[in-house]
Amino acid sequence: MIKGHISIYGFEPRWSDRVAWYGSAIAATALSWCIWWLSPVMHQDPFVIFILAVVFIARFYGFGPAVVSTFSSALVLDYFMFRPRLGVPVSAIELQRLGIFILISVLVAGLARQRSRAETKADEVRQELAAIVTSSEDAIISFTVDGIVSSWNHGAEVLYGYTAGQIVGRPLAVLIPGERTGELETNLERLNRGERVGSYETERVRRDGTRVRVLLSVSPIRNEKSELVGASAISRDIGQQKRTEEALRRNERLATAGRLTAAIAHEIRNPLEALTNLVYLARRDLGSRDEYLGLAEQEIGRLDSIAQQALGFVREATFPERLDAGKILEEVLQLYLRKLQQNHIRVDKRSEETVAIFGFPGELRQLFSNLILNAMEAMKDGGRLRLRVTAAHEWAGERRPGVRVTIADTGTGIHNADLPHIFEPFYTTKKENGTGLGLWLAYGIVQKHTGSIRVASRTVPGRSGTVFMVFLPESPAIVVAQAA
């Protein structure tokens, strides 16, 4: 396109187009003259029909043709209306009227041209937005305040299985599972109050009845009076992402269980050795057989307890249970106690008598295990591990009651540059020795329990160390809702 030329058509016009435009301007003037000639009503105010012709030309053919139409109209007005016979001079009033006509026509042509450009630009923007919506892989849906679908893009067809013809005009509720029927009304109420509905994870139902996990964001649609007339929803299928994350969690959980094998082997060795001795004594001393068998039962109980603790790392509960966070931390600590002693790590543990919350015991064992393992690896040359379990309220927000678990070590610490990234998947400071999934998994477990985790660390020689503080709420309703 040539610089300085702006075409409302979005392309450089050809000479044939220009000839047609300017010819149309002259033709509009001629048509106006014919209408004036045939209509006696127009004789009273001949300027009206010619101004309409100028506005029409400016709207559809541009400013240049409108100027041609203006001056050709002025010539027609001058020759056929003000002095129909040659040699008759034009009065001053008629000249003023012609001048005003030209001025008004040029002004109207300019305004019409600007309006045309604005409308063309708006059309281009609408077309671009429509192209973006149409080609988007995300499902983009708009619906009325009554929950009736009004638009449906190709991404929605792929995600939900309905074509636009099959779903437009139908209630959006056909996509919402029965247990989430109040979700639509809640979102519309929040939008009507002027509140923002942020992105959140939820479930939707496809045409074939299968469910899909989506990341959903809802935005209001308002009219010129700022009244809510509907809403738009953008959905993204995160089912594959969730399955991948769950696979990573399972693998990391099994990897942790594998690292526990050595510790469990040490713990099992002692009761097995005691069992062997007790069975031998029971065979040789029939008089004390019952006493020896009773002791053997106690050792079997120890073996069963150790096996249950190990299974707790890989066994998942469907619903949260009432549990003692301090007891679970103690069970995890017992599995690592021998290794802590071998690494010359002193343990300082303090816990209130009963700090009960609702949660998933297997996942909390995984959480505490990851944090204790990290502390041990940071203290390869010995040190001090401090564990605290206390009843507390969360630091901010609703100040919910719950339990705070603190795990602190005197290890090498974490550099400030690494701290913002330690909960990201596959980010590790252990180089080839780490998977980068332990703290990411720990963070996910805390989030599932609607809790929070904080970390503080320093790397100053002689005063280095790291502190992890985990808050877990006691409210069962919150945890159940999060698990669902």
Predicted model pTM: 0.46
Pick the range with the lowest mean pLDDT from 212-216, 262-266, 341-345, 429-433.
262-266
Average pLDDT over residues 333-356: 82
Number of Cβ within 10 Å of residue 196's Cβ equals: 10
pLDDT of residue 313: 53
pLDDT digits (tens, 9 = 90+) for 170-195: 988 888 888 887 888 888 788 777 77
State the Cα–Cα distance between residues 80 and 59, nearest whole angstrom. 27
Confidence of residue 10 (pLDDT cuts 50, 70, 90): very low
Find the mean pLDDT for residues 275-290: 77
Mean pLDDT for the stretch of residues 306-324: 67
Residue 304, burial from CB neighbour count under 10 angstroms (0-12, 13-18, 19+): exposed
pLDDT value for 87: 47
Q: Between 484 and 95, whose confidence is greater? A: 95
Residue that is written with structure tokens 């550099």 in the block: 415
Element (H, E) at 359: strand 356-359
Return the pLDDT at 8.
Answer: 38
**Separation of alpha carbons 154 and 296, rounded Å:** 69
pLDDT of residue 276: 79
Phi/psi of residue 360, nearest 5 degrees: -110, 105
Q: Binning pLDDT at 50, 70 and 90, where does residue 323 land? A: confident
Report the mean per-residue pLDDT for the chain: 76
Output the pLDDT for position 346: 92
Percent of the chain with pLDDT over 90: 8
Find the helix or strand (DSSP H, E) in which 219 lies: strand 211-222
Give residue 241's identity as a one-letter amino acid code: Q
Q: What is the mean pLDDT of residues 445-451?
A: 87
pLDDT tens-digit series, residues 125-166: 666 666 666 667 788 888 888 888 988 888 888 888 899 889
Beta strands 452-458 and 465-473 are: antiparallel
Contact 279, 296 (CB under 8 A): yes
Amino acid letter, residue 210: T
Task: Specify the pLDDT at position 82.
Answer: 54
pLDDT at 7 (0 to 100): 40
Q: Would you state the pLDDT for residue 255? A: 63
- The answer to whether the beta carbons of residues 271 and 302 sit under 8 Å apart is yes
pLDDT in tens, 41-95: 666 666 667 777 777 777 677 667 777 777 777 777 666 655 544 444 555 665 6
Going from the N-terminus, what domains does the chain have, and what CATH number goes with each? 15-133 (no CATH), 136-237 (3.30.450.20), 239-315 (1.10.287), 319-484 (3.30.565.10)
Banded model confidence at residue 315, pLDDT cuts 50, 70, 90: low
